[in-house]
Amino acid sequence: MSIRTSMHGQWSSRLIFILAATGSSVGLGNIWKFPYMAGQNGGGAFVLVYLICIFMIGAPLLMAETLIGRRGRQSPINSLETLAWDEGRSRSWRMVGVIGILASWLIISFYSVVAGWTLAYSVRMGTGALDGVTAAGATSIFNELIADPERLLAWHTIFMVLTVAVVSRGVRSGLEQAVRVLMPLLFMLLLFLVGYSALKGDFTQTVDFLFTVDINAITPATVLMALGHAFFTLSLGMGAIMIYGSYLPADASIPRVTIQVMLMDTLVALLAGLAIFPIVFTNDLPLTKEVGLVFQTLPVAFGQMPGGMFFGMLFFILLVFAALTSAISLLEPIVAWLVESLSLKRVHAAIMAGFSSWVLGIVMLLSFNHWAFEFDFLGQTRANGLFDMFDLVTTTFLLPVGGFATAVFVGWILSKLVVIDELGGHGVFFRVWYFLIRYAAPLAVALIFLNAIEVV
Ligand code: PFF
């Protein structure tokens, strides 16, 4: 079993890893991104492909990344380099970690801007500003927010400071408790919202929209979007899971913990869809609402229910925490690498990484107002300039490339003995997983990618 220890510490138990990894994967990707992507990409067709990608590619990769982390016990870049070296292979495998860290850095910059919106909405709910709001009112309130760079900057700054503060103290202190209490609360509130939407909104149309598959709506672009989102939502291809895996106790079963994380993440995304679409349909909102969807629908539901402002405030505060537990996992691999490579103190590394993403975040928030421009991507028009570009470059390019390379690394570079040693077994489950990681996952990712850019 494990032959190294991490200089950054270790989770106190297997459960804490599950909580932390769930905290990383459950975030804005599930509640903000999944519903609007499903809306944009044809509902059921997208959902089906997304679920297939999660089970056939995402889940096996989640295990693979955790394995690399626990075996290497360092930041993703250094773990990959060390493990490749152990096998007598090229040290350039570290580049896979570099791609991951680059992706994290780009993602955190726009993630923080959107997390800022959730902060703004917690306050708006708390002050009753959205009481009784109509669908049209909610839309114009959202549009006003994103048109105002100063307000966006303030919220983005607050969120980034919070993230840096948590990461500087070390992910363990504070995080463990926060995730243990807040995640179940968020889950319960989501269930409550689904119940409310089912009673008040058009639930039949929602189920039909999300789960009836129109085969013709499955285009190469939809498939690539779904694949990219599967990576994004499970925090794959960025080093987040690798670094969390590097803190995993040696005796924890990797398959068991990762499957729990994957199931929780998928459930939360589906619940978010079931909560949001009934409101979309009863209020005749267009499905192409894109980035504003959750902010233009849920306030309508909260605005009309008794005690809605209180529940709304609670919901958005919990969403802030979900975003925070994801953001810290984006910053952590960068910080761990800076600490290892430049011998920086954790606080200094966290400030450096946070500050540079904060600066990049300013470009992101200007994409909604002063620097807004439209462009076409795989047949869809995007309205938010560089924000959309960064999102698309990371989710449809960097993450699949990182995921592909990770699968090849674990399937072909690491010796089978090392893999078996970490996963502890060679039963049917292992054989299926190994087949997926060696053949199915890399091939599927490559084909989906090449197909979308019309090479094959
Ligand atoms: N998985 C997170 C979400 O769905 O919101 C986002 C994320 C976190 C992506 C950490 C990548 C990552 F490394």
Condensed to tens digits (0 to 9), the pLDDT of residues 376-386 reads 988 888 999 99
Pocket test for ligand 1, best of 235, 243, 357, 406 (most atoms within 8 A of CB): 235
Does residue 355 fall inside a structural domain?
Answer: yes
C-alpha 325 – ligand 1 centre gap (Å): 9
pLDDT at 178: 67
Tell me the C-alpha distance between 96 and 72, whole Å.
14
Does residue 377 fall inside a structural domain?
Answer: yes
Question: In the beta sheet, which residues pair with residue 382?
Answer: 375
For residue 255, give both structure tokens: 């398959």
Q: Which helix (H) or strand (E) holds 381?
A: strand 380-382
Tell me the C-alpha distance between 387 and 374, whole Å.
11
Does residue 4 fall inside a structural domain?
Answer: no
Q: Atom 12 in ligand 1: which residue has the minimum CA distance?
A: 235
C-alpha 283 – ligand 1 centre gap (Å): 30
Does residue 7 fall inside a structural domain?
Answer: no
For residue 53, give both structure tokens: 């990608």
Does residue 5 fall inside a structural domain?
Answer: no
Q: Is the CB of 394 under 6 A from ligand 1?
A: no
Pocket test for ligand 1, best of 33, 50, 61, 111 (most atoms within 8 A of CB): 111
What does the pLDDT look like over 414-443, one tens digit per residue?
Answer: 999 999 999 987 789 999 999 999 999 999
Number of domains in the chain: 1
For residue 302, give both structure tokens: 């909260």
Q: Burial, 56: exposed, middle or buried (Cβ in 10 Å; 0-12, 13-18, 19+)?
A: middle
Q: Is the CB of 146 under 6 A from ligand 1?
A: no
Taking CA atoms, 53 is separated from 12, 49, 205, 233, in Å, by 32, 6, 25, 11
Question: What CATH number is attached to the domain comprising 264?
Answer: 1.20.1740.10
Does residue 443 fall inside a structural domain?
Answer: yes
Q: Which one has a higher pLDDT value, 177 or 389?
A: 389
C-alpha 88 – ligand 1 centre gap (Å): 33
Describe the crossing of helices 308-342 and 149-168 by its angle, rounded to 10 degrees. Answer: 60
**Mean pLDDT, range 187-192, rounded to an integer:** 91
Q: Which one has a higher pLDDT value, 175 or 247?
A: 247
Does residue 1 fall inside a structural domain?
Answer: no
Does residue 8 fall inside a structural domain?
Answer: no
Q: How many CB atoms lie within 10 A of CB 415?
A: 13
Q: Is the CB of 329 under 6 A from ligand 1?
A: yes
pLDDT at 380: 84
C-alpha 234 – ligand 1 centre gap (Å): 6
Q: Is the pLDDT score of 1 beyond 60?
A: no
pLDDT > 90: what percent of the chain? 79
pLDDT at 175: 65
What does the pLDDT look like over 50-103, one tens digit per residue?
Answer: 999 999 999 999 999 999 999 999 999 999 999 999 999 999 999 999 999 999
Q: Atom 9 in ligand 1: which residue has the minimum CA distance?
A: 235
Pocket test for ligand 1, best of 31, 53, 232, 332 (most atoms within 8 A of CB): 232
C-alpha 282 – ligand 1 centre gap (Å): 31
Pocket test for ligand 1, best of 326, 394, 399 (most atoms within 8 A of CB): 326
Band of residue 288 on the pLDDT scale cut at 50, 70, 90: low
Q: Atom 7 in ligand 1: which residue has the minimum CA distance?
A: 235
User: Residue 388: which domain range?
Assistant: 14-452
Among positive and negative, which fits the CA dihedral 298, 303, 304, 305?
positive
